Amino acid sequence: MTTQQRPPLEGLRIIDLTTFLSGPSATQLLGDLGADIIKVESLDGDSSRAIVGPTVRGDSAYFLANNRNKRSIAIDLKAPRGLAVLKRLIAGADVVVENFRPGVTTRLGIEPEAVVSCQPTLVWASISGFGQNGPLRDRPAYDMVVQALGGVMSLNGHPGAPAARLGIPAGDVVAGLYAAIGILAAVQARHETGQGRVIDVSMLRGQLAMLSYQALYTYLKGVAPGPQGAAHDSIATYRSFKGGDGRELVVTANTPRMWEGLCRTLGVEELVRDERFVDAASRLRNKEELWAILEARFAERPASEWVDLLSEASVPVAPVKNVLEALADARTADDGSLVVVSDGEVSFENVATPIRFVDTADVEPAYPPALGGDTVDILLGEAGLSQSEVEELIADHVVAAAPLGEPVA
């Protein structure tokens, strides 16, 4: 019987000074991989706790989706004694992650380079909208702002329609992923050198990185691409179609074999020999004519039938599903794509981190913490304070413990 290994980041302590989405998504990922995440919140809490929408026990779904596997301590960082507590926590940490606006850490007295200079093994990751030194560094940034500035919105939506934001928070999530990658790279380097380092992650740079081949297309052509709709700039048979029942499906017939399989399945084998569509370049040049022919054929059967037939012909195809349908499929697959998070009294289902390690113990998903829910334990443990010191900090409203206002037991 194979002995399961520990979660890969077990033993790594991370101080999480982030709010809203980009930072919390990064630290949740690291927590899912076994890191100990201490979420430092203001006395009012992470602002995402109060976002309008579905809630569970007063916390928004927005907050709950990005803060499992963390402990929470509520500190007034504007109070000198509160800042002193934070510095004690940082002194015992491996990593600090923050997404303050540039300059805030300096005003607080925890400027990253200075802290790492005094604590050389520390890894410090700063996530911001536009970077620590860019011309826009002082501007506030949210997901749609960086989608707009990074060119992403101009590519989304259909030709002739207004630009549309992606329906997912790509600006936040991508920045969170790059932050996690940078942190893991720095931790690995520290094993070799004994030195930590400071990481600067920009949401805008993350959106530019997402442009991928579109950035090089633009450079080589000197022309900005327009909205992509459900088609592709280079592959005529990479797009969505509508079945006879009104449901949409996508086809990605990229290779000659797939193109031939598409034509054979649709009963239009003559297109394979048609000079207008004889190769990929010809099909792209005559895409409007080709699409008209294919659309007419797809309209003859329900989308689900075409999906089955094309799958049998090894042509990549899928129905366009809404989020409810996609989650139902994941639930049926029971492959770990979803996770149930519970505190013993209430529970909710959420999307799991998609990374799997063979022969490795899973991290049991811990319910997102109540504001200040771990304040006392963290102060007594990680901060090394005495019972009387903790009681004094709570009484003076330098820190808060959940349930807020109750005395320390």
d(CA 81, CA 63): 28
Three-state SS at 86: helix
d(CA 49, CA 66): 10
Closest among 119, 94, 125, 121 to 11, alpha carbons compared: 94
Task: Give one DSSP letter per residue of 115-184, joined into a string.
Answer: HHHHSTT-EEEEEESS-SSSTTTTS---HHHHHHHTTHHHHSS-TTSPP---SS-HHHHHHHHHHHHHHH
Q: Is 172 a catalytic residue?
A: yes
Beta bridge partners of 198: 124
| Number of other residues whose CB lies within 10 A of the CB of residue 390 | 21
Which structure tokens are listed for 87?
């510095």
CB of 318 closer than 8 Å to CB of 250: yes
CB of 252 closer than 8 Å to CB of 241: no
Of 46, 76, 172, 374, catalytic: 172
Active site residues: 172
